[in-house]
Structure 1
Amino acid sequence: MTQELVLDEKLQTLKNLAWMLYLFHAASLVFSMGTLSWIPLVISYVKRGDAAGTFVYSHHTWQIRSFFWYLFWLILGVVLFFSIIGIPLAWLIFVGAWIWKAYRLIKGFSDLNANKPMDV
């Protein structure tokens, strides 16, 4: 019985960390357009191994992939922004990337709270 309790406490600790990382990503998205998301990215890389074999592992992978895809779209938007033809398209990419990342964060929060792994 105590071993199950210890495992449950460990899983809850891993889940709490993933939840806090989602929260940090969300705050970064709102207050800095995601530029500070590199901080929870590093933590996800460091702590993902601790979550191996649990559903929380997939949440770290989800957050890492979300960060790099969001970065890709932002870089593409910046490149287009500095071309005369691409300014309207760049803004469309910025807004679309922001909405996409917000969706991924909401989906991650929701599945984490339901103790479900992410489809990565």
Structure 2
Amino acid sequence: MQDTANLKQHNLITYILYLLGFVFGGLTNIIAIIMNYLKRDECRGTWLESHIEWQIKTFWVTLIGYIVGFVLSFVLIGIPILIVVLVWHIYRIVKGLMALNDNKAIT
């Protein structure tokens, strides 16, 4: 049970780091993704595994989305893409935090 509590705390910290990425220009997102990969194996087989996978997918999809949006912003289509990616990014973090708080796997 203690391992699950530690892994839940780890996930809470990484969610917070992802939120702080909005303030610190994504620097804390790099720390969070490294932490996710380091704890990935420990979370296998627990309800927390879904949170690690959720965070990893969120990181990579939003990174690609932000890059594409930035590049295309020079032809104006990128601005709506950046807005959609931002909203999706916030949604994923909030949904994950809510599920974590309820001790539920994320789907």
TM range (shorter): over 0.9
Aligned length: 107
Matched residue type, 1:15: K
Residues 35/97 of structure 1: CA separation in 2 closer, same or farther (3 Å cut)? farther
Q: Which residue matches 1:14?
A: 7
The CA deviation string for residues 15-49 of structure 1, in whole angstroms up to 9 with x for no partner, is 000001000000112x1343541210011011011
Does structure 1 residue 65 correspond to structure 2 residue 46? no
**Structure 2 equivalent of residue 4 of structure 1:** none
State percent identity of aligned pairs. 30
Structure 1 unmatched runs, 5+: 1-7
TM-score by length of 1: 0.83
Q: How does 1:1-120 map to 2 (within 5 A)?
A: 8-29=1-22, 31-82=23-74, 86-87=75-76, 89-119=77-107
Q: Contact conserved, 1:26 with 1:105, CA < 8 A, in 2?
A: yes
TM-score normalized by structure 2? Answer: 0.92
Which structure 2 residue ranges, 5 or more long, are not aligned?
none
Structure 1 segments of 4 or more deviating over 4 A?
A: none
How far apart, CA to CA, are the structure 1 residues paired with 2:42 and 2:86? 30
**SS of equivalent to 2:97:** helix
